Structure 1
Amino acid sequence: MTDLDQRIASTLRERAEGAVDTDRLTARAVTVGRTRRRRRRTGTGVALGLVAALGFGATTVPELPRQLPRTHAGPSTAPVVPPREPGAPGAAARPDLVGADPGVLHFGIDPARARYLGWEAGRGVESVRLDLGGDRQVVVDLARTAADVEQAFHDGMSYSPEPAGATGFDGQIRRVPPSGPGGQPGWILRWRPGPGLYARVTTVAPDDRDLRTAVAALRLDEAYRCAAPLRLTALPAGARLGRCAVTVINFPDSLDVQFTVLGSKEERLDVRLEYRSEIAGSRTEGNRTIGGRPAYRYPRGDKLELLGIPKAHLTVWFGWPHQGFTEADAATVLAGVDLATDLTRPDTWE
């Protein structure tokens, strides 16, 4: 056990029997995005938080608050995991890198304790959604500042009405009351796993036991790629990749991927891949052509779709509320998309 692990374990033991601070909490659930269908080696670790398109589709900017139904683990299949990135350091060694590269996650989990349901990185925060078995999910967020952690919201999770400042990352478990009739409470654990790091674990459950399981599964000495079945090989002039999010909750029956592209003045467009095995057909006639392939611009004028991908929709959202990019920019991105031949084979993902 390292000094870092000892400090984490000690803090959690000291705080485990403490009173739950509910005075400042109000019954409210904040969630984002669209509803998405969504295991043990002894060790110690540290904490996390998906999207993710992921839901995971997780996003760092919340939309309208609403209560989402409890998501369920997908069909029995080999777990999907992001691949290791051997050349990159873990968060414990380089906390300054956390959330800075949308292509890399600077922490991992013990696969014997939990299973990935999604992962995302970029815009200051890194997150994972985990399945602990028995329809029990937790989300872990890791960042360099308290503000970056607190800006992350995920489908189906409940949050305090006010974000916590740096002093709120004290190792205490707090309860968020149910947001609706018959709903389960939310549970949040915030702490400092090491210098320059802030972590938060969140779940919705009858009790807080899953928070401790998730903490024990964390590994801060590893790094992984934000692997997805598509790559963006062309971006508008001056633009950069700002976020990568992958959701594998119901894989291989469904898969969600979202890339966020940012401009020099924080203009934004979102690239979304939505795969569903039950999709029987799709639009075949387009009103645009991109790289010799049919495409379709939606009537509202804020979304462009590349057609001809079996059981999937590949779209770029470039309109309201993220103004700044144009249809030509969206077409540039779609023309440079490199898509895996079989979306359900993670060994072919980049």
Structure 2
Amino acid sequence: MTDLDQAIVSALRDRAEGAVDTRLLTARAVAGGQARRRRRRMAAGAALGLTAVLSVGVAAGPPESGSPPPAAAPVRLVVAPPRVDGIAGAATRPDLVGADPKVLHFGVDPARGRYLGWAVAEGVESVRIDVGSGRTVSVDLARSSSALSERPMEGLEVGLRELATEAAFDGRTVTVADGSRQVRVRHWQPSRGLYARAVVIDGPQAELLVAADALRWDEPRRCTAPIQLTTLPPGAAVASCRVDVSAFPGRLNGTLTLVRGTDQLMSVSLEYNEGIEGGRTAANRTVDGRPAYLYPTGRQLELLGIPKAHLTAMFGWPGSGFTEADAATALGGVRLADDLARPESWR
């Protein structure tokens, strides 16, 4: 339900036992929506960690006497990973793509596409963007065609591996069926040594071209998340970073994956949801003096006491590798953003 819908419901409820004044109803709904938008603009603040761009359309001229105030265009909040100085972009150094889980070596022009998420994992850098249709266009970038062929697309049952042949990276678009859905896939080489793939579900080919035009190959950005790990288990390293801001500012998810050796994995994830009214309070463990909860499976440890959020470490899969002590070490050193709903507080 949108802010406007909620305001209308509230107005109807208030006047449920009398006649409804449609002008008053519209005026209250619009005014309520505008007030909420103003509060959200103020919360966005000046972007220090991430770039927050607000675009607001305002109707010109005063309303006619007795008429409800004109509705402003919806506020558009764009969250983007911050630029990184002193690092070459993908166009200049394609050999760096996917090598550092903390860096995306390309970016998106915020005037052409809105970030829905970003990730660096297994040698592939990825962004998910909305180019104006409300659909998601997923873009993956790698140093080789084989790296993309080994990377499955989340949410798809159909495999894309056989499509990512070396010869396919000539700009062509292929359409494949995934049940009742039509999946359009475009492969191309932005420059020598770079391999890109764009995917849209039930969308036109034109959206793939718009997304490609929105990419900036000389804009390295930090794969930042609202959590940072300041202590790692012995022998562990951060291998991947994933952030989902598609429902920001109401919800966001960030996950850092740790590896040790060739077969040990542990993920540390933050799930924020402004709709969470309360969290687990019964602790059965402590982490650095703070209450924590070990789930019955023995493979998930949650650090408690974080408002509107769950901070957990998943470990021990598939039955070996990282331990509860390792999870406690990672969670004990987690540094949270000052305010999870304010991207400028992310470091």
**TM-score in terms of structure 2 length:** 0.75
2:109 is aligned with what amino acid? D
Task: Give the match for residue 95 of structure 1.
Answer: 94
- The Cα offsets for residues 211-244 of structure 1, whole Å up to 9 and x where unpaired, read as 0001111111110001111100011111110001
Give the fraction of aligned pairs with identical amino acids, expressed as a percent.
Answer: 51
The reply on whether 1:112 has 2:111 as its aligned counterpart is: yes
Aligned twin of 2:290: 293
| Alignment match, 1:306 | 303
Count of aligned residue pairs for this structure pair: 273
Local SS of the residue matching 1:176: strand
Q: What is the correspondence of 1:189-204 to structure 2 with a 5 Å cutoff? A: 189-204=186-201
In the alignment, which residue of structure 2 is the partner of 1:146? 145
Q: Is the 8 A contact 2:300 2:314 kept in 1?
A: yes
SS at match of 2:325: helix
Aligned pair in 2 of structure 1 residues 322, 173: CA closer, same or farther (>3 Å)?
farther
Q: Is the 8 A contact 1:119 1:127 kept in 2?
A: yes
How far, CA to CA, are the matches of 1:93 and 1:343 in structure 2?
Answer: 34
Which letter maps to 1:220? W
Unaligned stretches of 5+ in structure 2? 1-73
| Residue aligned with 1:80, SS | strand
Secondary structure of the 1:273 match is: strand
Shift of 1:169: 1.8
Local SS of the residue matching 2:280: coil
Q: Gaps spanning 5+ residues in structure 1: where?
A: 1-74
State the superposition RMSD in angstroms.
Answer: 1.6
SS in 1 for 2:77: coil
Higher share of residues assigned helix: 2
| 1:219 match | 216
1:272 is aligned to 269
Give the TM-score taking structure 1 as reference length. Answer: 0.75
Q: Is the 2:83–2:220 Cα contact (8 Å) retained in structure 1?
A: yes
Aligned: 1:256 with 2:227: no
| 1:170 counterpart residue number | 170
The residue type equivalent to 2:228 in the other structure is R
Find the residue that maps to 1:261 and give its secondary structure. Answer: strand
Tell me by how many angstroms 1:323 deviates: 3.3
Aligned to 1:346: 343
What does residue 14 of structure 2 align with? none
1:337 aligns with one of 327, 334, 337 = 334
- Does structure 1 residue 124 correspond to structure 2 residue 142? no
User: Is the contact between residue 109 and residue 218 of structure 1 (CA under 8 Å) also seen in structure 2?
Assistant: yes
Question: Structure 2 CA distance, aligned partners of 1:322 and 1:227?
Answer: 30
Which residue in 1 is equivalent to 2:9? none
Q: Is the 8 A contact 1:157 1:204 kept in 2?
A: no
